[in-house]
Amino acid sequence: AKRSRQEKVKEKPPPRRRPLMSKPVDDVYLTWLYRRPCYQLEQAVGMLKTFQELDFTHPKQFVYINVFLDMALQKKKKVDPFSSSVTLPHRFTDEVNKVLVFTENEQEAEVAREHGAAIVGGVELIKWILEDEIQADFYVAVPAIMPKLIPLRNKLRRKYPTTRRNSLGSDIPKMLQFFRECHEYTVEDESIIKTRIARLDMPTEHIIANLKTIIHDICTFKPSNFDPIVRKLVIRSSTSEGLLLDLDGILPQVEEVEEKEEENAADEDQQKPAQESVGT
Task: Note the pLDDT of residue 257.
Answer: 42
- Residue 223's pLDDT band, with cuts at 50, 70 and 90, is confident
10 band by pLDDT with thresholds 50, 70 and 90:
low
At 33 the pLDDT is 79
Residues 123 and 162 in one domain: yes
| 104/136 same-domain check | yes
> Has residue 183 got a pLDDT over 50?
yes
Q: How crowded is residue 207: how many other Cβ atoms within 10 Å of its Cβ? A: 25
Q: What is the CATH number of the domain that holds 147?
A: 3.40.50.790
Q: What confidence category does residue 79 fall into, taking pLDDT thresholds of 50, 70 and 90?
A: confident
Q: Indicate whether 58 and 196 sit together in one domain.
A: yes
One domain for residues 72 and 102: no
Dist. CA 136–CA 112, nearest whole Å: 15
258, part of any domain: no
Same domain (yes/no): 130, 171: yes
Predicted local distance difference test score (pLDDT) of residue 275? 45
Residue 269 belongs to some domain of the structure: no
For helices 172-181 and 106-114, the axis angle rounded to 10 degrees is 40
In a domain, 252, yes or no: no
Domain range for 169:
93-183
* 235 found inside a domain: yes
Residue 97 shares a structural domain with residue 220: no
Q: With respect to residue 44, please indicate whether it lies within any of the assigned structural domains.
A: no
Q: Which pLDDT value is given to residue 218?
A: 94
Give per-residue pLDDT as tens, 29-43: 777 778 888 999 999
Q: Which of 164, 183, 202 is the last residue of a domain?
A: 183
| 200 is a domain residue | yes
- Checking if the pLDDT of 196 tops 90, the result is yes
| pLDDT band (50, 70, 90) for residue 14 | low
For residue 66, is it within any domain? yes
pLDDT (0 to 100) of residue 17: 61
pLDDT value of position 30 = 79
The predicted pLDDT at position 278 comes to 42
pLDDT(185) > 90: yes
Q: Are residues 197 and 174 in the same domain?
A: no
pLDDT at 195 over 90: yes
DSSP-assigned letters across all residues of 46-97? HHHHHHHHHHT--TT-EEEEEEEE--B-STT-BPPP-EEEE--SS-------
Average pLDDT over residues 179-204: 95
The domain spanning residue 219 has which CATH number? 3.30.190.20
**Res 73: pLDDT:** 80
* pLDDT of 277 strictly over 50: no
Q: Are residues 97 and 178 in the same domain?
A: yes
**Is 97 in the same domain as 177?**
yes
Say how many domains are in the chain. 2
Residue 6 lies in a domain: no
Whether 207 and 69 map to the same domain: the answer is yes
Chosen domain end from 211, 227, 242: 242
pLDDT at 5: 65
DSSP string, 84-148: EEE--SS--------EEEE---HHHHHHHHHTT-SEEESTHHHHHHHTTSS--SEEEE-GGGGGG
With 50 as the cut, is the pLDDT of residue 44 above it? Answer: yes
> Final residue of a domain: which of 142, 163, 183?
183
Residue 263 has pLDDT above 60, yes or no: no
Instruction: Tell whether 178 and 227 lie within a shared domain.
Output: no
Please tell me whether residues 235 and 108 are part of one structural domain.
no
**What pLDDT is stored for residue 20 in this prediction?**
64
Q: What is the per-residue pLDDT across 94-146, written as a single tens digit (0 to 9) for each?
A: 889 999 999 999 999 999 999 999 999 999 999 999 999 999 999 999 999 99
Task: Tell whether the model's pLDDT for residue 6 goes beyond 70.
Answer: no
Q: Looking at residues 204-212, what average pLDDT do you find?
A: 97
Query: Phi then psi for 111, rounded to 5 degrees?
Result: -60, -40
